[in-house]
Amino acid sequence: MIMKKRMKWTGAFIFICMLVLIARLADIQLINTESFGGENVNLIEESVGQRTQEVMIDDGRGRFVDRNLLPVGNFQEPKLVLFPFLKNIEWPKEKLAQITGYSAFALKNMLEDADKPLIMGSAEGITLTESQMDTINDLEIPGVFAIYQQAKKKDEAANHIIGITGESPDVLRERYPDKKELSSKTQVGFTGLEKAFDEFLLPDAETKLLYHVDGDGNPLFGINVKYIANANPFYPVSVKTTIDSRIQKMADAIVTRYGIKKGGLVLLDAETSEVLAMVSKPALERSDSGSHINHMLTPQIPGSVFKTVIAAAAIESGLKLKNSYNCQLDMYGEHDDDSDMGILNFERSFARSCNYTFTTTADELIKKDKKTIEEFAGKLGLTEKNGWSGNVFHYNQFRQFPEEKSPSIWDDPRDKGAFRAVAQTAIGQKNVRVTPLAAANMMATIARGGEKKQVKIADSILYKNGTTMFAFPDQDMEGDGISPYTASKLQHLLRLVVTDKDGTGRRFQSLPFEVSGKSGTAETGHDTVHKWFAGYFPSNNPKYALAVVELDTQSETSSANSIFYDVAAELSRLENASTR
C-alpha cells in the first residue's frame, strides 16, 4: 500500500517536472524567442550569431552632415576584410600584398590565428585608395573584400553636438514599444542630436558581409560570402545641420589651445540665429559621465553680461538717467577703496562695467514696476529656452536641443523688495542663470534690431536620395521684443565697450572686424569665477554673434577675451581667403 502511494507521488512529481520542462521549452522556442529573460535576450539573433560570421559595413543608422553636406561625427573608412577560411585554401596572397604593401607572410600569419573576419584599416597600417580598392575587388578572391565601413570620428570637434549612441534594450523598448522589428542590438541616442533625432535615425536595414559556419568555424555552405545591402532609396536619412565644419574645427582648436577645463563657446549666424559652431569642455568621453554635459546649454551665472538687460529696461522705460554716477562706490553705495573709475556717465559706466550705476538704476526701475527686470530679460530671450521647438510630424513639441535647461532670474519674489538682492540681480549674480546659447542669441537679437528668433542647429532631414523629408522653418521666439530704438541704443553701448579707451573690450580694437559686446565676471561663491565675453561683429554689418565663457576659473586673466579675439581674427582670415 505504501509502495503504491510512493509510486503515485513519484509519478505525479515526474509529470509536474515534465510539464515545467515543456513549458520552459515552449517559452524558449515559441513564446519569448525575441525577448527572453530579465535582459530581454533575442534568442533567434543569438542562435543565428553562433553559426554566422559577419562584417558590419553600415548599421543603417542615419547620420549627420554640415551645412555644406560634409559628414559630421562619422565617415566612410576604407577597410580590407579577410575571412578566416582563407587559411584553409590556396589564394593569391602575393597579389594582395603588392597592392596593399602588407607582406604576404604577415597576412598568412594573421589568418592562422583568426577565428573571425579580419578588418584592417589605417590603425593596422593599411591605407587604401579608391583605385586600390577597385583593384582588390576586381581580383574576385573568395573571402577578400575592400569596403568602405561607416565609422565614428573619435576626435571629432563636434562630438558634444552630435552626441553618444549605444545599445540598451530597455531604453529601446521604452521609447519604441511598437517597433517589435528592431533588434535588441539597435543603437539608440543618449545625448545631443543623436538623442533629439533618434526616431528618425533608427535603421531600416543593415549593410553587411555574411558567412555561415558550423560548430568548428568551418564553411557551412561553401566559401561564398553573402553581401546584404540596404536597397531602400529613402533610408537611412541624413540630418543636415547648420554647423560649418571648418569653423567648428577652428573654434574647437582655439578653445583647446587655451586649456579651458570647463566652458566653451557658441557661435551663431547673426542674421538667422543658426549655430555655426559650438564647443563645450571638458571634451566628450564616453566613459566619463561628467563630460556628457554640454555647458553651452546649461544655465550659468552671467555676471555683468546681464547689465545689458538693465540698460535695455532703462532705455525703453524712459527712465531719466543721471549725468554722472560716482563709480568710486561699490554696488551697495559704499566707498570702494579698490575702485579708481571716478565719476562716469551712463554710457561710460556700461563701457567700463561700473556696478554702482546699474545697481542704483535697477533699484529705480523695480520701484516703478517690480516686473521690469524679468520683463526685459524676456524681451531679450533670457527667460525661456532658446532652441528651436515646434511641430514635426507627430511630435507636438519637437526640440532640437533636448538637453537645454531653463534659465532663471528670481528665486524668491520677496527679493524684489530687498535692495541688496536687487543689486546682486542687476549685475547678473544672486539667482540669475543664463545659458551661453541664450547669451549669444541675445547679442544676435540686438544686432538684428530687436527681432527675437529661435536658435536652429538642424536645417532639414534629408532622404537617402537627397530629397527633403522635413525642413525646419525659421521661427520667432514667443513674447514681445525690444523696440528698434532700444536695440539701436544698445548697439551704441556695446560698441563703446570696445572703442572707449578704458572699455573692458578695448583689446578688440586691433581686430580686422569692428566688434561690439559685453564682458562679465561672475563670482560663484566657491573662490572661483566665470569669465564671459559676448558680442557680435562686424558692428556695422553683423554676421556673427559669439558668446565665450570660462567656468570656475581662478585665473586673474580672461581666456574668454582671448578666445573671442582669436575666433574673430580667424573668421576674418577665412573670409578673406574665400574671396581670393
Number of domains in the chain: 1
Answer whether 302's CB lies under 8 Å from 533's CB: no
Rounded Cα distance between 308 and 534, Å, is: 11
Tell whether 262 is covered by a domain.
yes
Tell whether 209 is covered by a domain.
no
DSSP E strand boundaries for 538-580: 544-553
Q: Find where cell 572661483 sits.
A: 528
The β-bridge partners of 343 are 326
Residue 562 is a catalytic residue: no
Establish how many alpha carbons lie within 13 A of residue 212's alpha carbon, considering only the half-sphere containing its beta carbon.
7
Answer whether 188's CB lies under 8 Å from 172's CB: yes
CB atoms under 10 Å from CB of 308, counted, come to: 28
In terms of C-beta density within 10 A (0-12 exposed, 13-18 middle, 19 or more buried), how is residue 283 classed?
middle
Catalytic residue from among 238, 245, 304, 559: 304
Which stretches within 30-127 are classed as H helix? Answer: 43-50, 93-100, 104-112
Tell whether 66 is covered by a domain.
no
CATH code at position 474: 3.40.710.10
Tell whether 226 is covered by a domain.
no
Tell whether 153 is covered by a domain.
no
Tell whether 507 is covered by a domain.
yes
Tell whether 345 is covered by a domain.
yes
Parent domain of 488: 245-286+294-579
- Nearest CA-CA partner of 167 in 181, 180, 193, 185: 185
Rounded Cα distance between 297 and 293, Å, is: 8
Rounded Cα distance between 476 and 272, Å, is: 10
> pLDDT by residue for the chain (580 residues), tens digit each?
566 666 767 766 777 767 766 656 655 455 554 554 554 444 444 444 445 677 777 788 899 999 999 999 877 889 888 888 888 888 888 888 888 888 888 888 888 888 788 888 887 888 889 999 999 889 888 888 888 887 777 667 889 999 999 989 999 999 999 888 888 888 899 999 999 999 999 988 777 777 776 655 555 545 566 667 777 888 889 999 999 999 999 999 999 999 999 999 999 999 999 999 999 999 888 888 888 999 999 999 999 999 999 999 999 999 988 889 999 999 998 887 777 888 999 999 999 999 999 999 999 999 999 999 999 999 999 999 999 999 998 888 899 999 999 999 999 999 999 999 999 999 999 999 999 999 999 999 999 999 999 999 999 999 989 999 999 999 999 999 999 999 999 999 999 999 999 999 999 999 999 999 999 999 998 889 999 999 999 999 999 999 999 999 988 787 999 999 999 999 999 988 877 6
Predicted local distance difference test score (pLDDT) of residue 221: 44
Tell whether 333 is covered by a domain.
yes
386 Cβ partners below 8 Å, 6+ apart?
404, 435, 437, 438, 441, 454, 455, 477
